[in-house]
Amino acid sequence: MTTSTWQVTPTTADIGFVAESPTIPELFIVSSVAIQCIRLGLEPSEELPLSTGDKITIEIDKSDRIDRDLVAWLEEINWVAESKSAVIHIHSVRYERDKLWSEGIVSLPEPFEPVIEIKAVTFHELELSSIPSQVGEGSGYRAKVILDV
């Protein structure tokens, strides 16, 4: 796997996405893009609105399960984006001992109205797994996340 991707996944009442990436940090980053694109009504082929903004560091306590860390971290991304009417552009994610750190930019694009209000990132049907390469170039990672809307 050489690129990070995401797509909306069918679910009965809410909305979800499946993200794939070559590394765990990139999987977190593409998942943050997915949740925000869904919130703004953008398709996977569209990019988040870009503008300049303030630097942001988002930190969470690391648990013993990376899938639970992904949910907790996405909750923080969603909260910041909702509370500031902003878009969060994450540039890096790293684990250090008992913390997960991410750095990026909080951008305030031209006034916009979210299409979908994301109430929560859920543990329902949560999956995070490694995936084998289709072309023998190593493996990657896949996350399936359901959002309560």
Residue percentage of the chain with pLDDT more than 70:
93
Binned at pLDDT 50, 70 and 90, residue 1 comes out as: low
pLDDT-based confidence at 14, cuts 50/70/90?
A: confident
Q: Which CATH number is 93's domain given?
A: 3.55.10.10
Residue 2: pLDDT over 60: no
pLDDT digits (tens, 9 = 90+) for 49-59: 876 789 999 99
Model pLDDT, residue 133: 66
Q: Which residue did the predictor score with more confidence, 4 or 101?
A: 101
Whole-prediction pTM value?
0.90
> Which domain covers residue 99, as residue numbers?
5-148
- The whole-angstrom separation of Cα 140 and Cα 2 is 8
- What is the number of domains present in the chain? 1
Question: What Cα–Cα distance (Å) separates residue 77 from each residue in 11, 68, 85, 106, 121?
Answer: 22, 14, 12, 10, 10
